[in-house]
Amino acid sequence: MTLGDNFKQMNIIHAALCVGCALILFIMYTLVNQDKNAVPATNIIFTVLGIAIAFINVLLSRILFFMRTQQAQTISDFGQKINIFRAAFIIQMAMLEGAAIINAIFYFLTKDKLHFFIAIGVLLLMVMRRPTRSMAAITLFSAKDDNVQRIYEDTMEV
């Protein structure tokens, strides 16, 4: 498998996770808006819990991403570096998607738009975390590594 194929697969996974999360948000929004007589129930426990889950998942996903990719700076095998990057990226996206879906469920339960907007914010963060070669180069290689330019070669076998 070539390096270009690896990044295509990561972009497909990224798009699928983002579209799936957006679809869940759309379904929850539609279900809540169908009930015109529903009164939003502002429950402080759900509000604090939704904010805390989103905040902790965003921070934890980023920390775990950098902890996993930091291991790759000591490895010389390029294929292993890409596999570490892919695994760290999928973990990061899964944690962000979990925070968005939990807030979408809280929105459905409480009908409080705060949870919907938190979920939209996390979804936008997911969209912005698209796997790029420059992100891979920054996280996988140290400043003194000469192999950093190899990340831009599409036809290289990994």
Quote the number of domains for the chain. Answer: 1
Q: Is residue 134 part of a domain?
A: yes
What pLDDT does residue 136 have?
85
CB atoms within 10 A of CB 50: 24
Q: Is residue 126 part of a domain?
A: yes
Per the structure block, which two tokens stand in for 36? 């015109």
State which residues form the domain around 82.
3-152
The model carries a pTM of: 0.88
Q: Is residue 63 part of a domain?
A: yes
Range in 11-15, 43-47, 96-100 with the lowest mean pLDDT: 43-47
Q: Is residue 158 part of a domain?
A: no
What pLDDT does residue 86 have?
94
* Residue that is written with structure tokens 């890409």 in the block: 82
What pLDDT does residue 144 have?
67
